[in-house]
Amino acid sequence: MSADPGLVDTDRNTPTGSIPDLVAAFADGIDAEIDWTYGSEETLVGMLERGDLDLVAGGFTSDTPWMDRAGVTRGYPQIDGADGREIVMLVPLGENAFLSALERHLDEAVGAR
Amino acid sequence: MTVQRIGRTELPDEQRTALRRAIRWEWFTIAYTSVTIAVVALVVGNSQAMRTAWIEDMLSLIPQLAFLVALIFVRRRPSVKHPYGLHRVMGIGHLVAGVALLAVGLNLAVEAVTGLIAREHPTIGTVQLFGQTIWLGWLMVAVMAVIVVGPVFFYGPAKAKLAPVLHNKLLYADADMAKADWQTTVASIVGVLGVGAGVWWLDGAAALVISLGIFWDGWRNTKTAVIDLMDQRARTYDSKNPHPLAGDVISTMRSRPWVKAAGVRMRDQGQVFHIEAFVVPHRGKVSLGDTTDLAERITDLDWKVQDVVIVPVEEFPDGVDTSGRG
């Protein structure tokens, strides 16, 4: 999780906000346990590349410069607190099934454009 | 657009019709390919194979454009400045198309190999279509399967039929590449499905196959175009055999009683031939009436041989074709 006012609040052990809620619901849907990690974008993307993380979320938009180092979801501007930004989440490169499942979940939870 | 004449050559009805059809097919191809490029752009995603196929589509426009541009020039009559006409423009177009394919094919092959070495895992997500979330890979497969219909079943075979009639190597190469387009389709579909099945390297491998195909097309076309521009003896439209007209010209010459020995130098100007007909006359003499008559008989042989020079000689220069055979 990368903190972002309005989207992700990382003051407590378990993050709160619209994005953590979406991620938690997604994890529920695929019977996964969440182990939250906080960090800067670069740290998180590095961990994603090494396989230490499965999903990176926060204030990433579809203009994210991490495009080459991570699989990027479609943009979801309807997420609460997005303020018109096209919010995306990052997954490890090549995780096609996981990415598809995540996008499917987000389509249902917040609706596609 | 009707083309009556190329250079000094009045086109016979058959060629005129064929040329009109060829022009129509070229425009159709450009329109079809433009739509293809636009549609593929929507689904190209993160797949290197799709990207390569997409660039191939863009490249495939070059032969059509070269053909249509060349036609503007080859129609001009010969002048003092351009005594042989401007037929070579077709060959130059062929060369340009070949070099473009060669360079881009090589570039894409290098890209595919570096991607494979760097173990780049292509990521293909989903799209929303009519309220349904579907995997983009399925769309890629569908698009590739649909767009292949044009080149393989329509304009590829149509142009392949017209190219021999017009003796146009650029058109022939263009048709040949269109007919081979199914290989690109199969490769890209295999690549995308491979990614879907978790075999990440299939995408890069497919991209490599497609780019090598482009490179190979470029190599063949560049080679043919260069050799023709260097005035090799005229060969058939597919460059496979020496053109049989050489033999016909030689027999026509030999059939004249005043001709002791005959040989030709026949070069392909791009669609039409330029012929130097060397004659060794009996008794070392020749009349103007005889040479004029012979030139007429040769030009009557075929629409492609309208530029004939009769050269009476004592001995043939090196490289003269005296058999007309391979």
**B121:A97 CB<8 A:** no
Contact state of A96 with B125 under an 8 Å Cβ cutoff: yes
Question: Is it the case that residue A10 has pLDDT exceeding 90?
Answer: no
Do residues A106 and A82 lie in contact, with contact meaning Cβ atoms separated by under 8 Å? no
pTM: 0.87
Task: Please determine, for residue B80, whether its predicted confidence score (pLDDT) is greater than 90.
Answer: yes
- Please name the amino acid found at residue B293: D
Same domain, B171 and B261: no
pLDDT at A11: 77
pLDDT of residue B298: 95
On chain B, the residues whose CB falls within 8 A of the CB of A95 are: 121, 123
- Residue B53 in any domain: the answer is yes
Residue A67, domain extent:
18-110
**pLDDT tens digits, B188-200:** 999 999 998 888 8
Report the pLDDT averaged over residues B22-47.
Answer: 94
Domain with residue B54: its CATH number is 1.20.1510.10
Residue range B242-291, pLDDT digits in tens: 999 999 999 999 999 999 999 999 999 988 999 999 999 998 889 999 99
Statement: residue B2 has pLDDT above 80: no
CA distance B169 to chain A (A): 43
Q: Which domain holds residue B302?
A: 245-312
Q: Is residue A22 part of a domain?
A: yes
In a domain, B212, yes or no: yes
For residue B283, give the CATH number of its domain.
3.30.70.1350
Q: Answer whether residue B140 is part of any domain.
A: yes
Residues B304 and B221 in one domain: no
Say yes or no to pLDDT of B155 above 90: yes
Segment B175-186 mean pLDDT = 90
The arithmetic mean of pLDDT across residues B202-208, rounded, is 93
The domain tally of chain B equals: 2
For residue A11, being part of any structural domain is answered with no
Residue A3: inside a domain, yes or no? no
In a domain, B271, yes or no: yes
Per-residue model confidence (pLDDT) at position B231: 92
Domain boundary among B229, B253, B277: B229
pLDDT above 70 for B144: yes
pLDDT band at A113 (very low <50, low <70, confident <90, very high): low
Whether chain B has a CB inside 8 Å of the CB on A54: the answer is no
Is B234 inside any structural domain? no
Residue B68 belongs to a domain = yes
In-domain check, residue A67? yes
State whether B14 and B118 are in the same domain.
yes
Kindly state the DSSP code that residue B283 receives in the 8-state scheme. Answer: G
Each residue's pLDDT tens digit, B83-137? 989 999 999 999 999 999 999 999 999 999 998 998 888 888 888 888 888 899 9
Please enumerate residues of B whose Cβ is less than 8 A from a Cβ of A: 46, 120-128, 133, 135, 137, 195-196, 198, 200
Beta pairing, strands B126-129 & B132-135: antiparallel
CB-CB neighbors (< 8 A) of A93 in chain B: 120-123
Residues B55 and B148 placed together within one structural domain of the fold:
yes
Judge: A96–B133 Cβ closer than 8 Å, yes or no: no
Q: Does A113 touch chain B (CB under 8 A)?
A: yes
Say yes or no: B267 and B158 in one domain. Answer: no
Q: What residues of chain A lie within 8 A of the CB of B135, using their CB?
A: 96, 100
Residue A112 with chain B: CB contacts under 8 Å: 128, 133
Those residues whose C-beta lies under 8 Å from the C-beta of residue A76, and which sit 6 or more positions away, are A82, A86, A87, A88, A106, A110, A112, A113
* Distance in angstroms (rounded) separating the CA atoms of residues B315 and B317: 7
Whether residues B199 and B55 share a domain: the answer is yes
Q: What confidence tier does B1 reach under pLDDT thresholds 50, 70, 90? A: low
Over residues A37-86, the pLDDT tens digits come to 998 999 999 999 999 999 999 889 999 999 888 999 999 988 888 888 89
Percent of chain B with pLDDT strictly greater than 70:
99
Terminal Cα distance for chain B, rounded: 38
Q: Are residues B205 and B296 in the same domain?
A: no
Q: Are residues B93 and B185 in the same domain?
A: yes
CA distance B152 to B241: 26
B199 and B141 share a domain? yes
Three-state secondary structure call for residue B308:
strand
Residue B300 has pLDDT above 90, yes or no: yes
Distance CA A85, CA B230 (A): 60
Looking at residue A72, what is its pLDDT?
92
Counted domains in chain A = 1
Determine, yes or no, domain membership for B236: no
Could you tell me what percent of chain B has a pLDDT over 90?
79
Contact B133 A71 (CB under 8 A): no
Are A1 and A10 spatial neighbours (Cβ–Cβ below 8 Å)?
yes
What's the pLDDT at A112? 61
CA-based nearest distance B55→chain A, Å: 20
B209 lies in the same domain as B131: yes
pLDDT of A3 > 80? The answer is no
Residues B85 and B216 in one domain: yes
**Mean pLDDT score, B196-219:** 92
Q: What is the CATH number of the domain that holds A67?
A: 3.40.190.10
The reported pLDDT for the residue numbered B109 is 93
> Cα–Cα distance between B103 and B108 in angstroms, integer?
9
The tokens of B137 are what? 């890979």
Residue A91 sits at the chain B interface (C-beta within 8 Å) = yes
pLDDT tens digits along A90-107: 999 988 889 999 999 999
Instruction: State residue B264's pLDDT score.
Output: 96
